[in-house]
Structure 1
């Protein structure tokens, strides 16, 4: 079974910029399409790998993932890891609030059982709320804990100002 819910959760977790929003919830109910130059899958085993190579495009609703290679690892019949690689693997998705999220990295690893997402190699996550970039980020989807840097590299976070909900008050004429 291919990881429709796992990849949608991957995109949800990628909304790591400050003040995250929820990925488009209806995307999980849409069919998932995986296109690649070639694939090598063994679905008959409980422990298996499914590898898609060459211009990989994964779409599900508003979720759009592009990578040079996608590897899906199953253990005991369940998805253990989804590994996306390339220069760079990219993910785009519309959020429930109508805004867009964009993420990219040389390597993106999602571990659904642990609810951990790791972006490595010149990662960047952008949304209207802000951005975060660096060399390595580990995001715990269950706790919301995000760890970046600590390996001698720099991390940059940009938080956009909160949008004004009302127009400025007009000055009274004398």
Structure 2
């Protein structure tokens, strides 16, 4: 399937009642860069180049070029541009747990009013428990609503040598603390049993 909305991944990826850091939405947006920026105060438009870092609470966006705009209502939006060799990256802590959402794509589009971010072209988004990857989504475009923690993903036309069909991909692990997670952990700690030959293959008489 080339175009697959995965809104049901809310339950799979959220793994519980925690949400993205609620206070992040109301924190100031800070921008740092290696090169001088262009600031248009009249149109509330700022352009930065060179290892640009945007922070807003626990949220961090890094890219080679980032444009920031402010709407008349005071909300910020940002477009971060990377490249195939050095994509733009995103990272944000989830509220109340030691978990992070992180991802990368050639282009990131952040909307401060709706607190959503779109990962465009060669997108990959992961949920980390500490430093361990718990879940991962990959596709041409991945959207993340950090308020409701809803993801959607589509394949699109972009194809790579490892994914010539432009298919979407999701890898999900059992919810932490669930019976399935405990069973998976127990199975992983056990050595693999030796293989046995069936009688027809000479394993019995």
Q: Is TM > 0.5 for Structure 1 vs Structure 2?
A: yes
78, 81, 84: which is aligned to 1:85? 81
Kept after mapping to 1: 8 A contact 2:153/2:168: no
Tell me how far 1:149 sits from its aligned partner: 1.7
2:162 matched to which residue of 1?
A: none
Instruction: Provide the C-alpha distance between the structure 1 equivalents of 2:88 and 2:71, rounded to a whole number of angstroms.
Output: 24
Deviations 1:129-168 (A, max 9, x none): 4110111224566884624124462111011122345767
RMSD (Å), alpha carbons: 3.2
120-129 or 31-40: bigger deviation: 31-40
36, 40, 47: which is aligned to 2:38? 40
Tell me how far 1:76 sits from its aligned partner: 3.6
Q: How many residues align?
A: 152
Distance 1:61 1:77, change over 3 A: closer
Unaligned 5+ runs, structure 1? 1-14, 169-174
68-77 or 123-132: bigger deviation: 68-77
1:146 matched to which residue of 2?
A: 152
Kept after mapping to 1: 8 A contact 2:120/2:140: yes
Kept after mapping to 1: 8 A contact 2:139/2:153: no
SS of equivalent residue, structure 1 residue 19: helix
Instruction: Provide the C-alpha distance between the structure 1 equivalents of 2:60 and 2:166, rounded to a whole number of angstroms.
Output: 29
55, 63, 66: which is aligned to 2:59? 63
Tell me how far 1:39 sits from its aligned partner: 1.0
Kept after mapping to 2: 8 A contact 1:18/1:131: no
Give the TM-score normalised by structure 1.
0.69
Deviations 1:71-111 (A, max 9, x none): 01334464463101112111122211121221111101123
Instruction: Provide the C-alpha distance between the structure 1 equivalents of 2:69 and 2:21, rounded to a whole number of angstroms.
Output: 25
More strand as a share of residues:
1
Give the TM-score normalised by structure 2.
0.60
Rg comparison, structure with higher value? 2
Kept after mapping to 1: 8 A contact 2:20/2:147: no
1:7 matched to which residue of 2?
A: none
